[in-house]
């Protein structure tokens, strides 16, 4: 399936995306393996991967005792609950009310203390109370946002002086590839032109369910735009790297490996799958 590149107002695109993400909540509750969180030591695969990198960038060496916004676009709260288990005082933000209800159910069932805030990520500073030692976001987030400058300004305004921002997400080079091709083949634009990619797909990345609102809108963002937005917001770069594995199967040709999914051995060094950026507010 090839998306259409369309001109659309942010409010209309956001509304369509919100309906789609509202629909994803029941199948994701069934597919995410939430029963694993009944073990009080269990952490999400994403947080288990990210936590050592994040904590190596903290002067305290640990998120324990820190106020952590985890995260912007928290969905049903698995990463937020996981960071709470690492000792943080956590706040999760999402624009989907059903997702936040599911997140609160998970937290309550597992005896996890967390605050949940319903807001558009691009307006978070006006809604979320207080400031944070860490703002964390990870996997599958910023392609849903049209304006990264506004996104980065929210992050900078939510951080305390000396606060740290962490993101790991799918690499823009990965998102330019044809997930259905029999070899590494460019299919989608790496650079954005302001237009949204309109997708019509009733499936969801987890589980077998379908959604009633299949239309979504995403925006390609090259690394230069992502880094530039964070730097222009006044954040200082601490750490950057690129990874060879993903926490989901982007393409049927990907193989399961320790830490997630990767391209076959012969292609693994040819293209990055993720990037990680850590910045600090001085």
Q: Which domains does the chain have, with CATH numbers?
A: 4-241+270-281 (3.40.50.150)
pLDDT, position 204: 81
pLDDT, position 36: 96
pLDDT, position 211: 87
**Cα–Cα distances in angstroms (integers) from residue 160 to residues 142, 208, 222, in the given order:** 22, 42, 28
- Structure confidence by residue, pLDDT tens digits, 67-110: 999 989 999 999 999 999 999 999 999 999 999 999 999 999 99
**Cα–Cα distances in angstroms (integers) from residue 90 to residues 6, 147, 226, in the given order:** 37, 26, 25
- Structure confidence by residue, pLDDT tens digits, 197-206: 999 988 888 7
pLDDT, position 31: 86
Q: How far, in whole angstroms, is CA 46 from its chain's centroid?
A: 10
Residues of the chain whose pLDDT is less than 70?
A: 1
pLDDT, position 129: 97
Q: How far apart are CA 231 and CA 223, in angstroms?
A: 12
User: How many other C-beta atoms lie within 10 A of the C-beta of residue 112?
Assistant: 20
pLDDT, position 251: 97
Q: Which ranges of 120-222 would DSSP assign to H, the alpha helix?
A: 124-127, 148-158, 172-175
pLDDT, position 202: 87
pLDDT, position 224: 98
Q: How far apart are CA 151 and CA 128, in angstroms?
A: 14
pLDDT, position 205: 80
């Amino acid at each position: 399936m090839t998306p259409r590149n369309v001109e659309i107002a942010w409010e209309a695109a956001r509304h369509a995306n919100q309906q789609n993400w509202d629909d994803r909540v029941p199948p994701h509750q069934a597919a995410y393996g939430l029963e694993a969180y009944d073990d009080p030591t269990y952490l999400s695969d994403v947080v288990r991967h990210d936590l050592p990198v994040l904590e190596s960038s903290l002067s305290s060496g640990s998120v324990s005792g820190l106020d952590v916004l985890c995260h912007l676009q928290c969905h049903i709260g698995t990463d937020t609950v996981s960071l709470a288990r690492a000792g943080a005082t956590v706040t999760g933000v999402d624009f989907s009310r059903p997702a936040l209800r599911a997140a609160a159910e998970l937290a309550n069932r597992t005896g996890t203390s967390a605050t949940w805030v319903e807001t558009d990520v691009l307006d978070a500073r006006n809604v979320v109370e207080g400031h944070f030692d860490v703002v964390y976001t990870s996997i599958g987030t910023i392609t849903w946002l049209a304006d990264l400058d506004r996104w980065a300004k929210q992050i900078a305004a939510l951080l305390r002086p000396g606060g740290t921002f962490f993101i790991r997400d799918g690499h823009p080079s990965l998102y330019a590839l044809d997930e259905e091709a029999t070899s590494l083949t460019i299919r989608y634009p790496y650079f954005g032109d302001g237009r949204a990619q309109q997708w019509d797909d009733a499936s969801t990345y987890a589980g077998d369910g379908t959604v009633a609102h299949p239309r979504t809108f995403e925006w390609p963002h090259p690394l230069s735009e992502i880094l530039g937005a964070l730097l222009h917001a006044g954040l200082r770069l601490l750490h950057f790297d690129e990874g060879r594995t993903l926490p989901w199967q982007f393409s049927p040709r990907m193989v399961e490996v320790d830490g997630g999914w990767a391209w076959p051995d012969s292609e693994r060094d040819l293209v990055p799958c993720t990037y990680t950026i850590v910045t600090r507010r001085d």
